[in-house]
Structure 1
Amino acid sequence: MSQQLPTQAIQLAPPPPGDFGGVHKQTNIIKVIHHLFRGRYLLTAALAALGLLLGVGLGWLSQRPVYQSTATIRIQPLMPNFKQNYDVMPMFDSFVGTQVNFLLQPRTIKQAMLSSDWQAIAPGSDASAEEEFRSALNVRRGGRDQSEIILVTYSNEDAKTAFVGLTQTCRAYERVFGEGQGRELNDKRASLIRDEIGRYERNITDAMSRIKSLAEDLGTNDPQQLLNLATAKRAELQTQIFVTETRLRAMGIMVSNEDTPADGTEPATQAEPARDRKDWSNEEIARVDNVMGTLVDRLNEARERYQAGINNGLQPAHIQMKRIENEISNLRDQMDARKQAWLGGQVPEEVLGQPGGDIDTPESLKRQLEDLKRQLDEEGRKASQLAGKAQEMSNFNQQLKTNTEQRDEMQRSLRDLDLNNRLRTEAGLITVLYPENEPKSPSNDTRLKFAGVFGCLGMFIPICAIGIFGMTDRRYRYSDEAIDEGPANTTLLGILPRLPSDLSDAEQAAAAAHCVHQIRTLIQIGGKDRRVLAVTSSNPGDGKTSMTLALGLSFASSGSKTLLVDLDLIGQGLSRGMRLRETSSLFNVLYDGDIKARIKPTHMDRLHMLPSGTEDDHRSANRLAEPQINRLLATVVDDYDVVLIDTGPVLGSIEAHLVCAQADGVVLVVGAGRARGQVKSAVDQLRRVNAKLLGLVFNLAQPRDFKTSAASQSFRSIRPDASPAQPSSPSEFPELEPLPRVVAIDTKR
């Protein structure tokens, strides 16, 4: 029975077609997170733990616990009466609110801060200290079911300070507003209030005396009635003046109206020229013709009845509405006939007088007009005097009302003070319940909460930072990343480890040699016509030269006559590694020299090499063209089973494109840590020149990644009784790099 040792293997089947990195598949969140933190788990855990500790410490120290000391003040809502019973205190809520204000009065706070106990803790009592003391003090009433309770709380980061601040505040309240100074203060306030009440009483007496005097002068307490009567009388006089002037104009007499009434009002009539009588309206005729006046009144009354019927919902076709319309029509006909008779002088002169039948001559009407104007002037002067006295009485009435309201308010305040004094004289009406000891535990300790929040932030910040760094790190760090996220339609031929220079891990060295042999085997199996193979990379430092030499040793050990060609004209790592570099230029030989004469044997059978020369440089590489490559291959391909050509990097050399375009197969070496974009660009350029890309070789993998990579695994069989692999001797092939060295040692054994 044989034991199995794991070595890295390859997948011959290419990945499904798609974009760079494979087709779009359903995202595995666990795998995504694993790729972000892979290789950084220990660092992430250490930084997260450190951030957690720092965050917890910072959050804990950023907060201070707050202690609260609370006292209860109970106010008895009942007060004794003269029958030795108790009545509910009137305005009880207002009284309790007053006590709350007393506790917050600057005088109370000042007295508390001046106490010896408080000065021993916090000396000083300036304005800022008082404001700080007031902000720490909280006074509030009890709930709806505890309206007689006042809760006094003092908060501070120190338990003793909270206790002393509370007790001294309550004691200052008792001293300032208690039985002693509190009653004296209320007595002083009561005295000031009584003085104010006396002043208001004097103002009230004076106002009442003046109002009485004015009422006696006017003969009434309501001057507004007199003003209304005076206004009505003046209106009547103005109407009589207008009628008289109208009658004079009807007689053809011009009325002069230059005088202005003494009261400053507009004249009763305006001077205007007499109009022709035929231009008079029915209403103007009605002023001097009693019959026309009667007809006008009847017409207006009929119109009102018609409008009332409309308002009551009667239609114009209603019989009652028809009757009113006929009546209005008859009245208009009578008015027109009366106007024609009046204009034709057919109206008797006796009807032109005032009702009563008196006949006025023009001279009597003029005298009557002058008398009416004198009466109007006299009434105007009386009305002006009356208005002045009425305004004076109104001012005194307003003064009386204002002083009465202010006196009543002062009397209510005095009653409140008297009630306060009475309550304070009754034992047990106001009781202060002090706390017995300092608070033992903080009432509001946010340290734990802040420690948790800051701890979470401190833990997640490094995790997020490393995660973001992982997202931005586009390098191939592990072999399975080249499988899962490598260029599309590209096969991973194998994985090779980063070997130490001393090859101290014999088992790893043996597995690496086995991988090289397996890659060579898969290339041979893939097609017998693959005789010219190019080995390249995207950038320098990926290990393509070591891979070329290791493959050459493996092909030679398998019986294939193999030629190594160093066409990396800039690096020349293969020629230097084999210590076969020539002085002359390889480019000149390829151009027109003897190629076969330049080929040299190596220390291994069936392995030869065409080295570059020290004269080769970037100028030689720039002049290299397809004919030289064709001439090289035509010369050597028939003499060797396999031709392995080491080229320069695809992204930095000309010879790589020329060789890869002509080769039967191309092996692209990808070193661990190489940027994915660079690998993709190299693959794109190879496909652009129609290179036959056989696949990728992931080189320089970490030992752990080499053993436990997510790539598929094969097993190297060994005999159960075989001795363990022995470390290589430093004297064996010291000129070779670690990878070709382990292959050379393996083939030698």
Structure 2
Amino acid sequence: MSDELNFNAPSGTPVMQTTGDDDSSQRREKLMSLLRGRLHWAVLLSLILGGGLGYLGYSSVVPMYRSTGQVVVESEELIFDGIDDSTSKKRWYSFVARQQQMLRSQEVAERAMASDTWKSRGDEAVEWTPQQFSKAIDTEIDERNNDKNIFTISFDAPDAITAGVGNRALLDAYSEEFDYRAETRFMNRVTQLQSQVQKSEIKIKQYLAQRRTVLTDYEFNQMEADIRALTNQRIELQENLDTVRAELNSRNPIQEGMSTNPADLISNDPVLNQMQIQIDEIEDRIKVLEFGGKGPGHREVKGLSAERDVLNAKMEVRIEQLLSEDIDALIGDPEYDRLRQLEQLWHRQLADVQSRLEKLNAKQAEVADLQELIDDEQRIIDKSRDSINEINVEMDSLKGTIDIFAPGATPSSPDNGGKAKQVAVLGGMAGTGIGFGFVMLLGLLDSRLRHAGDARMGLRDTRMLGILPTLPENFADPEQSERAAHAVHHIRTLLQISNRGTARVFSVTSPAAGSGKSSLSVAMGLSFAASESKTLVIDCDLVGAGLTRRVGAVVNRSVEAILREDTVLTDDQIANAMSHAREKGTNLKDALVELGMLTKKDLQRLNRRQADSALGILDACQGRPFSECVANTGIENFNVLPIGAAKPQDAGLLSPKAIRNLIARAREEYDIVLLDTGPCLGSLEASMCAAEADATVLIVSRGDSKSMATKARDHLISVGANVVGCVFNHALEADMNSASFASIVSQERRTDPAQSLLSADPAIAARFGPLGSAVAAFGTPSKSPNGKPRRQSVANGSSNGH
């Protein structure tokens, strides 16, 4: 094989030696796998769709003729001179954009279509609508012009005459519409702005009249000064009032309106407040002494309590003095009376000033709202008048703004000829892509294994041991047979070198029935036998029993054993009968009849009993020697342990321990042991055999499900099987030619014709199958490696019965 295998992995699957280009090669391989076997259909479909869509694309492009005229802008105010002046550049491109909108307007189209120039085209049978006319117009700036003052106007039509006439009619209509719109637009705009100025002036007069109802013009002008004067006067009165009240409070602690509650008096009278502070300090000291364990009778506690009582008494006296103060006597005091009168005067003046200031502030707020409305209207007036001035300037600048520099001529050839080719090419490319994409989609939706490449992609981590061709039941092509035999020998060689040649027990399984497990097991058994390896093929498929049926391996119990088990005859009688058979040269059954020990009826019953006593894998698992259970196939070193009398329901009798013991015994007597199991996803014995074998071969066939193949591989790995590789069966000729063993021996060195005839022998093909018969014919040399003649007899059936 072209890929290297790592057989030294302790378990799981062989490892691919990867390179740095694996990702790209894998993507390429996956892409090619979708087209493998379908490439000819993809090419055919792509040619059909590509040609069809290319033709449709080419024919879908209607030939269009283009007539081009040029308009030059004469106004210096609009020309963009190329200098990096953002203002002039913006003005120029804004002007061009407005002209493009005008050219495509319905008014220009109707004006052009109503002109005599348009009517002279002579093709009045084809009706044009203003919308169609507008869509046929195209404009662009002539960047080649250094002055940047020319833009081109094009007109497209299905015929050359209409294109030329249409362009000339368009240019004339555009020039007329430009002048009309310029005058109309400017005049309408000026009228609107003047009307706006008049409305704003009327509103300003209304707002001024409303303001005079609040304040006269003189009051409005003096309002700020009055507010400042009243504010200063209020501050001065407040300061004087605070000074008088401070003097009154110093003369009478009980302020006017203040509560006579003792608590309020203590809080406002400095003397009472100081006494209360001293009392609180004494109580805190008493609490500290009591916390320290000193009771009320303690000397220090008593002293502090006495001080507190004295202070309480003084506070009571002070409160009584304050409450019993003669208010009339205090009023009679000239100084106190003067201060009270001064306080009342300044209080009234302050209230009057505050009232006047509040009224003035309210009027100021009302006037401010009106003034803001007046300012808004004045800004509108200023902006409108500026716009009127700009319009007047623009009207002057647009006089003689545009001039028809080059009227459109009649074109001589279609303008979109290249577009038709482009569309045809795009259509062809799209058709080709659709063709390949459709075939690849079919490949993506196809869940079957169709080629060996599909198996490589689906089982990427599992190596491809070999590829087996599709062989007919009866074939006479020696080259085909020889190639199939060589493929099996290739697989056998890789297995022999696996794990450095230590692997001797191999299980063969598949994802589903019909993949060719039994055929591969027989073929590999014959190949191992041809390499001088004593080989035992064990049919572990208790449900399918394909290997036993294919080889026809039946091992019946001997007549002697049945007679001894049934105790019909004594040991002496059986010994005499066997001696008589040897003397006469007959078998034991005939000797028993001749000696009268058995009747013909007994002989028939004995034959039925022997036919029903087939030995096989279950008997070997129970300890019966291989010499009694193994069928002789007639091929040297090729032995088969059949199913025997086991039924499908007997699969539950097998256990990993029984399989392990069976394999251990087989290792002692045989060089190679092949375990032919059922599908690993549906049989019990397949998982047990795969787990106990040195290596497991997974065979998949063309037509198998990709997902089932992947699940089978994953299942084998999960049970601890060493999946040494995969074999792809029923491969097509293309897959066989791509294999590393595809080269065939030259004509001069081909096997002799006798072996070619042997591969076509119907008896051999029926017994070993096409693959096995190919190996039997082309895998067995005339002499063994030691030079001795090879014994070969493959046409007879196998039975160990007597």
TM-score under structure 1 normalisation?
0.51
List runs of 5+ in structure 2 lacking aligned partners.
76-91, 192-216, 223-236, 241-383, 555-610, 781-791, 794-802
State the 1:59 CA deviation. 4.2
Q: Which residue of 2 aligns with 1:544?
A: 517
State the 1:437 CA deviation. 3.7
The more displaced of 566-575 and 676-685 is 676-685
Structure 1, residues 557-607: CA drift from partner, whole Å, max 9, x if none? 556555443221112211222345787786764576967655444454554
Structure 1, residues 307-361: CA drift from partner, whole Å, max 9, x if none? xxxxxxxxxxxxxxxxxxxxxxxxxxxxxxxxxxxxxxxxxxxxxxxxxxxxxxx
Counterparts of 2:174 and 2:460, CA distance in 1: 85
Where 2:764 maps in the other structure, the secondary structure is coil
Contact 1:587 1:624 in 2 (8 A): no
**CA shift in 2, pair 1:155/1:597, >3 Å:** same
**CA shift in 2, pair 1:454/1:733, >3 Å:** same
Contact 2:466 2:726 in 1 (8 A): yes
**CA shift in 2, pair 1:472/1:551, >3 Å:** same
State the 1:138 CA deviation. 5.5
1:657 aligns with 2:687: yes
List runs of 5+ in structure 1 lacking aligned partners.
1-7, 78-92, 197-229, 236-275, 280-401, 421-428
Q: Which residue of 1 aligns with 2:162?
A: 161
**CA shift in 2, pair 1:231/1:141, >3 Å:** same
Q: Which residue of 2 aligns with 1:740?
A: 772
1:27 aligns with 2:28: no
State the 1:158 CA deviation. 3.6
State the 1:739 CA deviation. 0.7
**CA shift in 2, pair 1:608/1:121, >3 Å:** same
State the 1:497 CA deviation. 2.6
AA aligned to 2:66 is Q
Q: Which residue of 2 aligns with 1:67?
A: 65
Match of 2:31 among 23, 32, 36: 36
Where 1:737 maps in the other structure, the secondary structure is helix
State the 1:441 CA deviation. 2.6
Counterparts of 1:528 and 1:646, CA distance in 2: 21
The more displaced of 511-520 and 563-572 is 511-520
**CA shift in 2, pair 1:601/1:722, >3 Å:** closer
Contact 1:497 1:703 in 2 (8 A): yes
Q: Which residue of 1 aligns with 2:652?
A: 622
What pairs up with 1:458-607 in 2 under 5 angstroms? 458-460=431-433, 463=436, 493-503=465-475, 505-520=477-492, 533-557=506-530, 562-580=535-553, 589=619, 599-602=630-633, 604=635, 607=638
Contact 2:142 2:148 in 1 (8 A): yes
**CA shift in 2, pair 1:25/1:465, >3 Å:** farther
Contact 1:649 1:656 in 2 (8 A): yes
Where 1:121 maps in the other structure, the secondary structure is coil
State the 1:542 CA deviation. 2.9
Contact 2:474 2:762 in 1 (8 A): no
Counterparts of 1:76 and 1:468, CA distance in 2: 63
The more displaced of 431-440 and 137-146 is 137-146
Q: Which residue of 2 aligns with 1:646?
A: 676
State the 1:533 CA deviation. 4.4
TM-score under structure 2 normalisation?
0.48
State the 1:540 CA deviation. 2.9
Contact 1:22 1:486 in 2 (8 A): no
Structure 1, residues 371-429: CA drift from partner, whole Å, max 9, x if none? xxxxxxxxxxxxxxxxxxxxxxxxxxxxxxx99x99xx99x99x999x99xxxxxxxx9
Contact 1:140 1:150 in 2 (8 A): yes
Where 1:507 maps in the other structure, the secondary structure is helix
Counterparts of 2:456 and 2:142, CA distance in 1: 74
Counterparts of 1:153 and 1:32, CA distance in 2: 51
State the 1:149 CA deviation. 7.7
1:121 aligns with 2:124: yes
What pairs up with 1:318-717 in 2 under 5 angstroms? 437-442=410-415, 445-460=418-433, 463=436, 493-503=465-475, 505-520=477-492, 533-557=506-530, 562-580=535-553, 589=619, 599-602=630-633, 604=635, 607-612=638-643, 616-617=647-648, 619-626=649-656, 628-629=658-659, 642-663=672-693, 666-671=696-701, 682=712, 686=716, 695-709=725-739, 711=740
Q: Which residue of 2 aligns with 1:14?
A: 7
Q: Which residue of 1 aligns with 2:367?
A: none
Where 2:514 maps in the other structure, the secondary structure is coil
Instruction: Provide the aligned length of Structure 1 versus Structure 2.
Output: 515
State the 1:493 CA deviation. 4.7
**CA shift in 2, pair 1:634/1:573, >3 Å:** same
**CA shift in 2, pair 1:466/1:583, >3 Å:** farther
Q: Which residue of 2 aligns with 1:132?
A: 132
Counterparts of 1:696 and 1:431, CA distance in 2: 83
Q: Which residue of 1 aligns with 2:337?
A: none
Counterparts of 1:467 and 1:102, CA distance in 2: 52
Structure 1, residues 509-532: CA drift from partner, whole Å, max 9, x if none? 102213334544665677898665
**CA shift in 2, pair 1:72/1:551, >3 Å:** closer
The more displaced of 473-482 and 454-463 is 473-482
Where 1:568 maps in the other structure, the secondary structure is coil
**CA shift in 2, pair 1:169/1:471, >3 Å:** closer
Counterparts of 1:655 and 1:24, CA distance in 2: 35
State the 1:551 CA deviation. 2.3
AA aligned to 1:652 is G
Contact 1:601 1:609 in 2 (8 A): yes
